[in-house]
Structure 1
Amino acid sequence: MNAPVSPADALRGSLAALLDGLPPRQAAQAVDRLIAKYRGATPTDAPILRDRADVAAYAAYRMPATFAAVRAALEAFAQAVPQWSPAGHTDVGGGTGAATWAVTATWPGEREVTVLDWAEPALAIGREIAAANPALADARWRRARIGSALTLDPVDLVTVSYVLNELTAADRTALLDTVADAAQSVVIVEPGTPDGYARVIEARDRLVAAGFRVAAPCPHSAACPIVPGTDWCHFAARVSRSSLHRQIKGGSLAYEDEKFSYVAATRLPVATAPSRVVRKPQIRKGQVLLDLCETEPGLRRTTVTKRHGDLYKAARDADWGDAWPPAGDRAS
């Protein structure tokens, strides 16, 4: 009997099939053009993904990275609400639905799923790709303008990933208010840049003001302890490079790290981490340096050495974004 295919593997297979018949040069040119548009000022009255070729190329290039980033954010959130699983999920601005795949990887099983996006070609290909994921068999793919005019039905979980940059400030505010009114829990993911972090902080502050608790990455719901302009909070998710990635970016590595910022907030009771690793751990001879955001709140560097025994072993295995200390070591 064959082992069940993981959502990540099923997604990779579907994306590879999606590029069949699309000349590699055309795919690469479409991705280059679309990346340039996404990095610029995007008007809200013109969908960026115009046709099937655009969507196929961009999905094959970006969906694995979006999946990995959202999956990492959802996993941190799931650890803070261990007894909870969403009965319904709405993906706002979801395009081809990478976040829906990440949700099924975090909480297996079927649920009511709705993907909202303005680009009909993206929705069509998202529906096509989702045929490989039984948990998305009954997902609804609906065209909607993302912004101040959007309305949402009440739902357990709303994801908003890599969307806020495409909106005006007024539309971002209106969207966040709409999401806060409709959702029990919200996960927002943006690029791991200073601007992306600023948008996440804006969203975080608005959700907290609406009565949400921050579940991750912050171990508290107080103001972020980072002094504006001096640094930004972001994390990294490892992504296997496809042949399209290697063709466009060059390089010999079989992977790359997707940098992202995020906030997961909820109206549920949460068991937040005592602290979280907010920089890549520095492993040196006989010691590990961990930069932590703590419950108090505040930022602190701690050094874990061999004399800490099992905690030292845990520190050597710790990753950027992990809760600290590990659950089994919190009495130490």
Structure 2
Amino acid sequence: MASSSYKACGLSQRVAVVKILFRTVSAAANPQPKADFLKGEPHRKHPGMTSLNTLRLPQELQVAAQSVIQKAQVTQLTDRCHKLINYLWSRKRMVEDVTLRQKALGLEKELWEKAMQKMGDIDEEALRNQIRKRVLSELRQTTYHWNSLKYDEELGVVYMASRLAGGFAAVTRALNEIKKRDPSFAPQSLLDFGSGLGTVAWASHLHWGDSLKEMVCVDSSGPMSVLAERLLKGDEEEAEPLFKHVYFRRFLPVSPKVQFDLVAAAFTLSELPSVKEREDAVITLWRKTSSYLVLVENGTKEGHQMLMDARDTLLKKQEQIVHDPRPARVFAPCPHEMMCPKLAREPITPCNFQQRYHPLPLSGHHECQTEKFSYLILSRTEPAQEGTEGLEWARLIAPVLCRTRHVHCHMCCTDGQLQHKVVTARKHSRDVYRCARNSDWGDQLPIILKVEKDAESDSE
């Protein structure tokens, strides 16, 4: 029966069947050794993969948060959560005084020139006053008015209901980069600046609970620290903390020589009003870092720009770093230390990533949500050799599009350029191709330089 159906096939179909059979037999007879960069791992778990499956809050944290929210009985909680999320996502940086002054001078000059074109006698003093009023009115209408958020107990509960799970997901994903790429790293001390609800402490405990001996959480908001401590105790006042050695403070440690293995600031830079305050904070945090500094912000243009400003500060102002002369090196997500290529393109788009998570089971929350965030990890240690000679790791900056026998990959490469590569087994090797098919947005992908150079010479 099979023989007759085979004979009924057209010539081209029979040739295709023979080719497939030949490839199968050849592969079975001559199995290909895996590339060195895989380090013995299967393609679906290759060393560049740092993305995570859909995350859930730790059970103890979720139960404690639900208990706090239930006891608070905040009116219109769902609506207030939506408004707060929209406000935080659309938030911009404060307009600096220098920028505002330049804008005012430019507008005043433009109005004055228009007035001078009119014929007739002009009362210059009256005209000057009129122009100033128009300039002030224009600036009030067009300038973004930045306001600091003052968290009382009720607003803290609203923030927890809307941002606890998403913030935990983003921080956990960022810290997983260190966990995966530097498995020998076992931090004993943590400093969390702008700790809020303590999500960094929970995420760090998830990754390094066996080694952490001291976690210092610094936040200027007393009510937020009280909420964080309630969560840590399971919302039972007399209970012992679910994990020990967590200390809540209002200010950073005074001594400039005190350092921590891991320093983090999640969604904190956006709470500082000026460029100068953000720069000073980043320099101070880096001075207190002995191994890794982790910064996380919303995945907006504003959040990404603040992280790039922090990156430039630490890479270009080494002379301001005292006591520890080891220079800053970019660990993630950038595979280079040049200017972010996304900032050089118009229109400017943020370099961001996403993490799926299960929100708190409250009214109005869907089963799964996606947290879009930007992050930056800087290290004092030498970068590990993550592959073999002739191979580099690029960062996937968009979802991977898998098609028949090829994969579309948008990547940020080690030469500081954005590239769109169509990865195939024939052109890039079977191992790289299978790694690409199993990778996701935010992972690293191995690029064999020899193959790339050969392809370029062939195209010429």
Q: Deviations over 1:84-137 (max 9, x none)?
A: 222111110111111111112222323210111111111011112123596742
Q: Is the 8 A contact 1:81 1:269 kept in 2?
A: no
Query: Given the alignment of the two structures, is residue 301 of structure 1 paired with residue 351 of structure 2, yes or no?
Result: no
Q: Which residue of 1 aligns with 2:396?
A: 277
* Bigger radius of gyration: 2
Percent of residue pairs bearing the same amino acid type:
27
Distance change >3 Å, CA 153–CA 331, structure 1 → 2: farther
Deviations 1:67-93 (A, max 9, x none): 111111111133343322221111101
Q: CA RMSD in A?
A: 3.1
Counterpart in the other structure of 1:214: 330
How far has the Cα of 1:275 moved from its partner? Answer: 1.2
- Structure-2 residue corresponding to 1:243: 361
Structure 1 residues 4-153: aligned runs within 5 Å: 8-23=58-73, 25-35=75-85, 38=88, 39-40=90-91, 42-44=146-148, 47-51=149-153, 53-109=154-210, 110-131=212-233, 136-144=243-251, 153=258
AA paired with 1:113? M
Q: Which amino acid aligns with 2:383?
A: V
Deviation at 1:25, TM superposition (A): 4.3
State the secondary structure of the residue aligned to 2:337: coil
Q: Distance in 1 between matches of 2:155 and 2:189?
A: 30
Question: Are 2:233 and 2:242, in contact at CA under 8 Å, matched by a contact in 1?
Answer: no
Alpha-carbon distance in 1 for matches of 2:305, 2:163: 22
Q: Distance in 1 between matches of 2:335 and 2:161?
A: 35
Residues 54 and 160 of structure 1: CA distance in aligned 2, closer, same or farther (over 3 Å):
same
Structure 1 position 36, deviation (Å): 5.6
Deviations, residues 18-44 of structure 1 (Å, cap 9, x unaligned):
222344744224424544654445545
How far off is 1:194 after superposition? 0.8
Aligned to 2:71, the other structure's residue is in SS state coil
Instruction: Give the TM-score normalised by structure 1.
Output: 0.84
In structure 2, distance between residues paired with 1:171 and 1:207: 14
In structure 2, distance between residues paired with 1:281 and 1:69: 20
Shift of 1:57: 2.8
* Aligned partner (choices 299, 312, 319) of residue 433 of structure 2: 312
* Aligned position for 1:3: none
Per-residue deviation at 1:267?
0.7
Higher helix share: 2
In structure 2, do the counterparts of structure 1 residues 188 and 222 end up closer, same or farther at CA, with 3 Å as the change threshold?
same
Aligned length: 315
TM-score (norm 2): 0.62
SS in 1 for 2:341: coil
- Is 1:174 the counterpart of 2:280? The answer is yes
Contact 1:241 1:256 in 2 (8 A): yes
Distance 1:263 1:24, change over 3 A: same
Asked if structure 2 preserves the Cα contact closer than 8 Å seen for 1:7 and 1:105, the reply is no
User: What is the identity, as a one-letter code, of the residue corresponding to 2:166?
Assistant: A
Q: 1:143 to 1:13 in 2, by over 3 A?
A: same
Distance 1:9 1:289, change over 3 A: farther
Equivalent-residue separation in structure 2 for 1:134 and 1:67 (angstroms):
19
- How far is the alpha carbon of 1:296 from its aligned partner? 2.3
SS in 2 for 1:264: strand
SS class of match (1:321): coil
Q: Secondary structure at the match of 1:190?
A: strand
On the 8 A contact 1:239/1:255 being kept in 2, the answer is yes
Of 305, 321, 325 in structure 2, the residue corresponding to residue 198 of structure 1 is 305
> Conserved in 1, the CA contact under 8 Å of 2:394 and 2:444?
yes
> Is the contact between residue 82 and residue 162 of structure 2 (CA under 8 Å) also seen in structure 1?
no
Q: CA deviation at 1:228?
A: 5.3
CA contact (8 A) 1:282 1:290 kept: yes
Give the equivalent residue in structure 1 for 2:369: 256
The one-letter amino acid of 1:108's match is G
